[in-house]
Chains A and B, each alone.
Chain A
């Protein structure tokens, strides 16, 4: 079945460091891919998305490229800030259902000054 495998954390980085959180997926067809962020004590917020191969989603300095050949959607940011400390979830929406979402296990990021 469809699934998402996400890099395990926790991840601790110094401010201004480069961030990569790996995400790979298994799906039939052409799913849409998402990154959600959950700040401490809050619900999930959509960070970015990509709906087809080679699309790049971007928001708040974060980027992820939909790579069909490697079935990946890695999240990157060139220079993290303390305010980026949160849990990041990779998610997939299969093309044939339209509404069912599958989430990765989440990666906790802590950025230290």
Chain B
């Protein structure tokens, strides 16, 4: 398994502002993933972040809205830009340790007012 931490655990933000979410893993991993879980919904993959290359975004998600950094093999950030109430969700990072199992962080609960 992997120990994954996220910061902040929750936040309440005003519309039009941006929030950067951090994801820290206890060991080096090649691939990290960012998901969104809207209230009462399942998980939707936002993007895949590999160290040393630009993130790969899924359909419906763009870099200008959700810029991602991956400066090393244990850390990644996701920024939610120019927020609106529709961005209120839980944002989760996950990693694949090479065994085709994804391990998830505890999530960041974002409320946009």
| Residue ranges of A at the interface with B (Cβ–Cβ < 8 Å) | 32, 34, 36, 42-46, 49, 51, 89, 93, 98-101, 103-106
Identify B107's interface contact among A43, A49, A100, A103, CB under 8 A: A43
Q: How many angstroms from the CA of A45 to the CA of B3 in the assembled complex?
A: 11
Q: How many angstroms from the CA of A31 to the CA of B101 in the assembled complex?
A: 12
A-B pairs with CB below 8 Å: how many? 45
Nearest chain B CB to A75 CB, angstrom units: 15
- Chain B residue numbers with a CB within 8 Å of A42 are 106-107
Most buried by B among A32, A42, A43, A103: A43
- In the complex the two chains form, is A98's CB within 8 Å of B106's CB? no
- In the complex the two chains form, is A89's CB within 8 Å of B42's CB? yes
- In the complex the two chains form, is B100's CB within 8 Å of A98's CB? yes
- In the complex the two chains form, is B42's CB within 8 Å of A105's CB? yes
Q: Report if B31 contacts A (CB, 8 A).
A: yes
Q: Report if B53 contacts A (CB, 8 A).
A: no
Give the residues from 64 to 113 in chain B that come closer than 8 angstroms, CB to CB, to chain A: 92, 94, 96, 100-107
Q: How many angstroms from the CA of A45 to the CA of B106 in the assembled complex?
A: 9
- In the complex the two chains form, is A101's CB within 8 Å of B92's CB? no
The 29 listed contacts between A and B (C-beta, < 8 Å) are A32-B100, A42-B106, A43-B4, A43-B92, A43-B104, A43-B105, A43-B106, A43-B107, A44-B43, A44-B92, A44-B94, A45-B104, A46-B101, A46-B102, A46-B103, A93-B100, A93-B102, A98-B96, A98-B100, A99-B31, A99-B48, A99-B96, A99-B100, A100-B45, A101-B45, A104-B42, A105-B41, A105-B42, A106-B42
Residue of A nearest to B43 (CB): A103
Q: How many angstroms from the CA of A99 to the CA of B92 in the assembled complex?
A: 16
List 11 extra interface pairs beyond A34-B101, A101-B102, A105-B42, CB under 8 A.
A32-B100, A36-B104, A42-B107, A43-B4, A43-B92, A43-B106, A44-B43, A46-B102, A93-B102, A100-B45, A104-B42
